[in-house]
Amino acid sequence: MDFTSVLIASFLIRIIYKQGWYIITYALAIYHLNLLLAFLTPKTDPAFEEEDEGESELPTKQNEEFRPFIRRLPEFKFWYSATKATIVAFFCTFFNIFDIPVFWPILVMYFITLFCITMKRQIKHMIRYRYIPFTFGKPRFEKNGYPFIIRKNK
C-alpha cells in the first residue's frame, strides 16, 4: 500500500513536471476507478440474486443471519493490480509515442463526471441492498451484559 502510494505520487510528479502523457494518466485513473468499483462490490451481486431467488444474499433484518461481506476484488488483488497498472503507466511515460497532445482540462472534467456518476450509482446500490463494504471497529463479545474478556491466571 505504501509502495503503491509512493509510486502514484512519483508518477503524478513526473506528469506535472514533464507536462505530458495526459492520455496515459486518464487511462490509469479510469482503471483505478474500475478497481475501486470492483473492490466495493460484493462477490455475488444481490441484484442478480434477487431476480433469481426473490431474496438477497446479504443479511437483512428479517433473517438476521450474519454473512460476511465478500468482495468481488479482494484487497490484496486491488493493491497488486493498482501497482502493476501504475508501473506500466510510469514505464509508458519514458516514450514519446505515448505522449499524445490533448487538452487536459477536458479529460479532468470527463473523469470527475464519470467518477460522480459511478459513485452515485454504487452508493444507491449499497443503500438498496443494505450492505456496507467496510467493517468499523473490532467485534466485542458480551456475556450477561459485560464485555467478555479472557484473562490468564497468574
Within a domain: residue 121? yes
Using CA atoms, how far apart are residues 142 and 42, in angstroms rounded to an integer? 29
135, burial (CB in 10 Å: exposed 0-12, middle 13-18, buried 19+): exposed
**143: three-class secondary structure by DSSP:** strand
| Cα 133-137-142 angle, rounded to 5 deg | 120
Q: Ramachandran region of residue 151, left (φ > 0), alpha (ψ -120 to 50) or beta?
A: beta
Within a domain: residue 104? yes
Within a domain: residue 92? yes
Domain containing residue 108: 21-133
Q: Which residue has the cell 519514458?
A: 94
Within a domain: residue 3? no
Within a domain: residue 84? yes
Within a domain: residue 140? no
Within a domain: residue 153? no
Question: Which pLDDT does position 134 carry in this prediction?
Answer: 72
Question: Which pLDDT does position 144 carry in this prediction?
Answer: 57
The tens place of each residue's pLDDT in the chain, 154 residues long, gives 799 999 999 999 999 999 999 999 999 999 999 999 999 988 887 777 666 565 555 555 555 565 667 788 999 999 999 999 999 999 999 999 999 999 999 999 999 999 999 999 999 988 888 887 776 665 666 555 555 555 555 5
- Tell me how many domains the chain contains: 1
Give the DSSP letter string of 76-95: HHHHHHHHHHHHHHHHHTT-
List, in order, residues 6 or more apart from 82 with CB less than 8 Å away: 4, 8, 32, 35
